[in-house]
């Protein structure tokens, strides 16, 4: 007769303790669990366990469950519910019934945990992109996607100055930089990178075939002619502000002006700027740049791009842009309007810092800091998945009013119930499911902008 070893008996008991038995079988297809299905599909349980093993977070059967710790971090720290490690441990104990000492919990914050959270974020990004249902509006119908790239800096404890040195700091200071590439079609990040503050923005953006037929909006932190050339050579398009001191050579004008219009061809931009009186200028300019060195040798090259200048009445100055989008696709004022959509990524960073605890990373441990940064990013990804679900059940006429920043606040306020219910749904919570009010709150317009006629940035650009 075959007998079980003490080790296998102990492992079976731990699994039983970690997965409390329900009094009634769970019908996961029930309508009331639709939002939990949407969340769990973003981070499937089996894939999460595979990542825990592949990153070395879990090496053998233990009391701690990687799926449970993932959701406790994402819906605990990531929404400011708990802001220190001891409180997160209590949250884990309260939700799962598993006892861990504070020392044992703290020991979980290792490079392996950071790698596990990073790979979980990559998984969530891939699944968000695969489930993308958005599409660009009629004016951009010939393009595949509208993407926005930017980065933000997180202030860290000064004891981490050797690991994450800050830039332009008078005293001892530390900072990390988070870089995002946001997709309008996927309604979320396509790429995420975390580095020290001293890493230049332009080095965090790698151009490749992925940019083909896409428009990329970038600010002056990514202003590099060589970068623009690579975008164009890969079949992509860009829109950026022109640097104040840039002085490209004017080659031709796209518009024919009546009256005493001056001939601008052959002149430098700064010379013409002083003479401008018209509200809109649309011209072709030549930019010169250095190619990357090959076998120790570099070379100079030139590129023709479109320069658009639109008078801004509020700022009382011209707003000047560079792009390679043709005038018959977008006119000068549409280029200026499109660039305003770059503010969407600023709102994403605001949500990360105001509602997803990205500005609450105050530990002196490098491993804890890295883990919590990836936790905040994962919280944003989970929130976007929930947003997509709520948007899908919201009447079409109200969807433009369901703004992501307002949604972030509603999501954070309902996170405690969401945390309990997702753990219960996955068989990891010890108490029954609670009827959440999040969907009802959305239906009562708590996440809807009360200003019905307010103009939204992406309106007209994204369907």
31 pLDDT more than 90: no
Which band of pLDDT confidence, cut at 50, 70 and 90, is reported for residue 15?
Answer: very low
Question: How does pLDDT run across 237-285, given as a tens digit for each residue?
Answer: 999 999 999 999 999 988 765 555 667 889 999 999 988 888 999 999 9
Which band of pLDDT confidence, cut at 50, 70 and 90, is reported for residue 91?
Answer: confident
User: pTM of the prediction?
Assistant: 0.85
How many residues does the structure list for the chain? Answer: 463
How confident is the model at residue 79, as a pLDDT? 63
Helix axes 34-42, 111-130, angle to 10 degrees: 120
Report how far residue 352's alpha carbon sits from residue 357's, in angstroms, rounded to the nearest whole number: 6
How confident is the model at residue 398, as a pLDDT? 82
Question: How does pLDDT run across 294-325, given as a tens digit for each residue?
Answer: 667 778 899 999 999 999 998 899 999 999 99
Which band of pLDDT confidence, cut at 50, 70 and 90, is reported for residue 152?
Answer: very high
What integer is the mean pLDDT of 18-37? 66
Question: How does pLDDT run across 434-461, given as a tens digit for each residue?
Answer: 665 555 555 445 677 776 666 665 666 7
Q: Are strands 145-156 and 300-312 parallel, antiparallel or unpaired?
A: unpaired
DSSP string for 284-337: EEEEEEEPPPBTTB--EEEEEEEEEEEEETTTTEEEEEEE-S-TTTS-HHHHHH
Q: Residue 265 in contact with residue 250, Cβ under 8 Å?
A: yes
**Triad 169, 171, 175: Cα angle to 5°:** 50
Q: What is the mean pLDDT of the chain?
A: 84
Sequence-ordered list of residues with C-beta below 8 angstroms from that of 347, at least 6 positions apart, any chain: 404, 405
CA 160 to chain centre: 25
Q: Residue 178 in contact with residue 358, Cβ under 8 Å?
A: yes
How confident is the model at residue 21, as a pLDDT? 44
What integer is the mean pLDDT of 318-344? 94
Report how far residue 398's alpha carbon sits from residue 409's, in angstroms, rounded to the nearest whole number: 18
How confident is the model at residue 94, as a pLDDT? 82
Question: How does pLDDT run across 69-87, given as a tens digit for each residue?
Answer: 999 999 988 665 455 788 8
Report how far residue 5's alpha carbon sits from residue 161's, in angstroms, rounded to the nearest whole number: 50
Start-to-end C-alpha separation, the chain = 66
Which band of pLDDT confidence, cut at 50, 70 and 90, is reported for residue 24?
Answer: very low
DSSP E strands in 168-298: the ranges are 174-183, 188-196, 214-218, 237-241, 249-253, 280-290
Question: How does pLDDT run across 172-219, given as a tens digit for each residue?
Answer: 889 999 999 999 888 889 999 999 999 999 999 999 999 999 999 999
Return the H-helix or E-strand segment holding 156: strand 145-156
How confident is the model at residue 241, as a pLDDT? 96
Q: How many CA atoms, within 13 angstroms, populate the side-chain half-sphere of residue 311?
A: 9
Helix (H, G, I), strand (E, B) or coil at 218: strand
Return the H-helix or E-strand segment holding 354: helix 343-354
284 or 90, higher pLDDT: 284
Question: How does pLDDT run across 375-422, given as a tens digit for each residue?
Answer: 999 999 999 999 888 888 888 888 888 888 888 888 888 888 888 889
Q: 80-119: string of b/e by CB count within 10 Å (b at 16+)?
A: bbbeebeebbbbbeebbebebeeeebbebbbebbbbbbbb
């Amino acid at each position: 007769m075959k007998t079980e070893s003490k080790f296998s008996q102990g492992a079976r008991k731990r699994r039983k303790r970690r997965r409390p038995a329900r009094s009634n079988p769970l019908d996961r297809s029930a309508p009331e669990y639709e939002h939990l299905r949407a969340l769990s599909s973003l981070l499937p349980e089996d894939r999460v366990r595979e990542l825990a093993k592949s990153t070395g977070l879990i090496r053998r059967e233990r009391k701690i469950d990687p799926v449970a710790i993932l959701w406790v971090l994402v819906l605990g720290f990531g929404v400011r519910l708990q802001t220190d490690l001891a409180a997160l441990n209590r949250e884990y104990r309260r939700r799962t019934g598993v006892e861990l000492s504070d020392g044992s919990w703290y020991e979980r914050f290792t490079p392996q945990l950071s790698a596990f959270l990073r790979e979980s974020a990559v998984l969530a990004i891939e699944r968000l992109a695969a489930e993308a249902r958005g599409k660009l509006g009629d004016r951009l119908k010939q393009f595949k996607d509208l993407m926005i790239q930017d980065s933000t800096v997180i202030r860290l404890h000064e004891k981490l100055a050797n690991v994450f040195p800050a830039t332009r700091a008078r005293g001892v200071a530390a900072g990390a930089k988070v870089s995002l590439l946001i997709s309008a079609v996927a309604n979320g990040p396509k790429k995420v990178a975390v580095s020290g503050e001293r890493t230049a923005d332009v080095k965090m953006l790698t151009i490749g075939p992925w940019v083909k037929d896409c428009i990329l909006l970038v600010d002056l932190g990514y202003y590099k002619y060589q970068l623009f050339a690579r975008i164009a050579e890969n079949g992509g398009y860009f829109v950026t502000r022109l640097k104040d001191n840039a002085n490209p050579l004017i080659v031709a004008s796209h518009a024919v002006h009546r009256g005493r219009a001056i001939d601008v061809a052959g002149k430098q931009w700064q010379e013409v700027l002083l003479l401008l009186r018209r509200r809109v200028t649309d011209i072709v300019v030549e930019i010169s740049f250095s190619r990357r060195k090959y076998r120790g040798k570099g070379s100079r090259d030139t590129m023709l791009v479109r320069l658009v200048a639109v008078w801004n009445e509020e700022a009382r100055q011209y707003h000047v842009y560079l792009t390679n989008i043709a005038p018959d696709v977008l006119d000068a004022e549409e280029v200026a309007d499109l660039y305003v959509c770059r503010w969407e990524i600023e709102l994403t960073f605001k949500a990360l810092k105001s509602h997803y605890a990205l500005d609450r990373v105050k530990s002196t441990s490098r491993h804890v800091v890295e883990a919590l940064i990836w936790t905040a990013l994962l919280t944003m990804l989970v929130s976007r998945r929930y947003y997509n679900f709520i948007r899908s059940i919201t009447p079409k006429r109200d969807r433009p009013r369901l703004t992501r920043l307002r949604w972030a606040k509603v999501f954070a306020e309902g996170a405690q119930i969401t945390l309990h219910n997702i753990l219960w749904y996955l068989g990891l919570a010890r108490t029954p499911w609670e009827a959440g009010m999040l969907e009802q709150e959305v239906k009562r317009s708590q996440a809807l902008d009360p200003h019905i006629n307010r103009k939204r940035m992406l309106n007209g650009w994204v369907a």
